Amino acid sequence: MATLYKSTFSTPVGGLTILLEDNTMVICEFADRQHRVEEQIKRFYPNHEITETPLPESLREKLEAYFAGDRDILNSIPSGPIGTPYEQSVWKALQEIPAGNTMSYGELAKQLGSSPRAIGRANGRNPVCLIHPCHRVIGADGSLTGYAGGLDRKEWLLKHEGAILNL
């Protein structure tokens, strides 16, 4: 039986639940969204044993560095979320939005030859928040729309990355 290693990590905007398969992050969700973690496990990892373990030091250091201000460190974290080929293409495109920048659903849809609604659905199914930074996708008018972790977190993350000025 395969194993997923489950850890938690505290952030300024709430705890994260992180699941690793070997050294690859497959789930990263805010701890108060536990139902999303359970749905992912049930859907994609039903035959895996879940083992609670401390977060590997190298991953903990990278997450600490991000929350201390190193906006680009998340790009060095290996991830492998399971999804449809379309979802995979959207999640990969999310990683190409530089920290400190945003892109509208429409812009991302145009880039991928898709529709804003389809982008929104794929974003909403993203099981690896932060690493596949769906918080960097905003409404066409600049509004902070749709974020599974909550709009308050989306705003905090965008301010932290410098995409929104703290006024």
Query: Which one is catalytic: 4, 41, 134, 164?
Result: 134
- Distance between CA 54 and CA 156 in Å, rounded? 26
* Residues 6+ positions from 91 with CB-CB distance below 8 Å: 81, 83, 122, 126, 128, 132
Whether the Cβ atoms of residue 25 and residue 77 lie closer than 8 Å to each other: yes
129 is annotated as an active-site residue: no
Taking the CA of residue 157 as centre, how many other CA atoms within 13 Å lie in the half-sphere pointing to its CB? Answer: 28
| Residues classed as catalytic | 134
